[in-house]
Amino acid sequence: MTEFLSGAHILCRLLEEQGVDLLFGYPGGAIMPFYHALPESPGLRHILVRHEQAAAHAADGYARASGRPGVCVATSGPGATNLVTGLATAQMDSSPVVAITGQVPRAMIGRDAFQETDVIGITLPITKHSVLVDDITELPAKVREAFRIATEGRPGPVLIDIPKDVQNQKMEWSEERPGQATRPAGNPSPGPRGEESIRAAARLINEARRPLLMLGHGVILSRAYAEVQALADKTGIPVITTLLGISCFPESHPLHLGMPGMHGEVHVNRAIQHADLIIGIGLRFDDRVTGNTAGFAPQARIIHVDLDPSEIGKNVPVAVAIMGDARVVTGRLAEAVTPRDCDDWREEIQGFVHARHESYRGDMAPETILAAIREGSGAGCTVVADVGQHQMWVAKLYGYQEQNSHISSGGLGTMGFAVPAAMGVHFARPTRPVWAISGDGGFQMNMQEIATMVQERIPVKMAIFNNGYLGMVRQWQQFFHGRRYSATPIWSPDYVKLAEAYGIAGYRVEHARQIDEAVSRAIREPGPAVVEFMIEQEANVFPMIPPGGSLSEPIESAPAAAPVP
């Protein structure tokens, strides 16, 4: 049947065609035609956030948890600019977010019209792609292209800017000839050159005496869980998971070592420094992983598996590069290597293990809190960590077993990410528990989203690690800036009363004996709940590689006399 529809109506049809059933957004002047059409598409559920940044983070959380593109919507001007942090977060962590923004009418573009911003220009460096729809006739192709680009290859955010008059334009639309829903391209075969590289990599793996597997976010993006485990099991190679690779490999597995890098465990970093071969799969050797690259893994040759050719050799020199999907390549590698074990090497690494030095006033240790959350929530729980000290504790101490159950802002390090992203995770996994774990700084950046959770009945549990400081910055000030705590003490409202004001349950935990009870009561709540944990004010995250230092130079205790820069 052929209909004569507006651009806004056609946009709704296109979103349905692409399999979208959920949008996070906030209406405004330039996107009103779309919101006018939206109720006529009951298959599109809209979640009204309280700030557009939260819409982008929620779409990102949804995308990471579901593997499908997350969609956010905003108006022109401030609505669009508020998306920026969320889009940059998605870009840095390769998350397929599609952002739809209204724009002033075409005739007004370039005239500094009310709520006009050049959002395409603003977001050029922080999106995988962006398009301005100049005419309604371009709308179907550009929307389909946006979804294809967002999901194809290395995923990333795409922005579609649609002038208001294009949303109001009309054209014929035929339901009988809908376009194909965009699906990510199948896993590409490595090709002849890839096969040659796989054989070269297998030879290096067979010959190595001290090999390590370093697994990154690409393993989760390509769902290569079984393949990396097969490779590890067949070779006995110890496994390291980067911050965004956490939960791609069960931490109870005897080959799992932990997280590398700036706050990685000492034995993990020492293993890297002693390794003669590193097989990096789906990671980009970020500076938080390598420390000073000049001193990174000095004895190791590196095999780098990545879908994105621009990552190969970007940060570290590579002996063998295999460009391709982590799942396909790792599967082929697992077939090509000779069965072996690395028992001597694993024993050597065990000799590197240090007892932890952290001490906490009272008994509110992060381990205790995280163990209560893990045991109380059971299998299937997803933890969305914010950014800061608690993020490192969550990364290192939670003990992830479930695939893709740890979500955090890694590349951009976006404080305020956890609460809205957890909303998106809930919609991707509606029957499974979701915790947003934040510090008192990050929580206050997006705590307005409690209202969204209440209105939309989103039962995310929120944990706040409250130490009265912007803890990670304070730690750097303690270690590297003469203990001058400039602008890091942070006041918080009474979170229990705040929760009550929103009509939800809130708990404050000041002693370890209260942890289990508070956590289990929060979990039993049918809706969202807040649990505030009053932790040690000046607790530090150890070990720590100083900025610019190599992985061989960990700080394992607070400096006795803090240096003054």
User: Nearest to residue 87, comparing CAs of 99, 79, 75, 77?
Assistant: 99
Residue of 128, 142, 164, 461 marked active site: 164
Residues contacting another protein: total by CB under 8 A = 15
Active site includes 462? no
Q: Does 310 bind another protein (CB under 8 A)?
A: yes
Map tokens 């000290």 to a residue: 389
Residue of 3, 40, 114, 517 marked active site: 114
Residue of 323, 472, 534, 544 marked active site: 472
Exposure string for 244-281, b = 16+ CB within 10 A, e = fewer: bbbbbbbbeeebbbbbbbbbbbbbbbbbbbbbbbbbbb
Residue of 17, 52, 116, 532 marked active site: 52
Using CB under 8 A, which residues numbered 392 to 451 contact another protein?
A: none
Map tokens 């939670």 to a residue: 398
Using CB under 8 A, which residues numbered 103 to 162 contact another protein?
A: 120-121, 124-125, 128-130, 132, 149
24 close to 59: Cβ distance less than 8 angstroms: yes
User: Minimum distance from CB of 132 to another protein (Å)?
Assistant: 7
Comparing CB distances to another protein, the nearer of 146 and 232 is 146
Q: Does 298 bind another protein (CB under 8 A)?
A: no
User: Minimum distance from CB of 245 to another protein (Å)?
Assistant: 22
Stretch that binds another protein, among 302-310, 394-402, 425-433, 480-488 (CB under 8 A): 302-310
Active site includes 314? no
Helices (runs of H) and strands (runs of E) counted in the chain: 23, 20
Comparing CB distances to another protein, the nearer of 127 and 408 is 127
Stretch that binds another protein, among 86-94, 105-113, 176-184, 311-319 (CB under 8 A): 311-319
Active site includes 251? no
SS (H, E, C) 501-515: HHCCEEEEECCHHHH
User: Minimum distance from CB of 483 to another protein (Å)?
Assistant: 34
52 close to 73: Cβ distance less than 8 angstroms: no
Q: Does 313 bind another protein (CB under 8 A)?
A: yes
With CB under 8 A as the contact rule, the residue among 308, 348, 538, 553 that binds another protein is 308
User: Minimum distance from CB of 156 to another protein (Å)?
Assistant: 9
Residue of 16, 32, 115, 448 marked active site: 115
CB atoms < 10 A from the CB of 287, how many?
15
Comparing CB distances to another protein, the nearer of 287 and 510 is 287
Comparing CB distances to another protein, the nearer of 149 and 453 is 149
Using DSSP's 3-state secondary structure scheme, residue 309 falls into helix
User: Degrees (nearest 5) of the Cα angle 268, 274, 277?
Assistant: 95
Active site includes 273? no
User: Nearest to residue 402, comparing CAs of 381, 421, 418?
Assistant: 381
φ, ψ dihedrals at 278, nearest 5°: -120, 125
CB atoms < 10 A from the CB of 513, how many?
9
User: Minimum distance from CB of 273 to another protein (Å)?
Assistant: 22
Comparing CB distances to another protein, the nearer of 129 and 234 is 129
Comparing CB distances to another protein, the nearer of 294 and 564 is 294
User: Minimum distance from CB of 310 to another protein (Å)?
Assistant: 4
Quick one: DSSP state of residue 412? S
Active site includes 472? yes
562 close to 479: Cβ distance less than 8 angstroms: yes
Q: Is 269 left (phi over 0), alpha (psi -120 to 50) or beta?
A: alpha
- Contact footprint for another protein (CB under 8 A): 120-121, 124-125, 128-130, 132, 149, 308-310, 312-314
Which residues are catalytically annotated? 52, 114-115, 164, 472
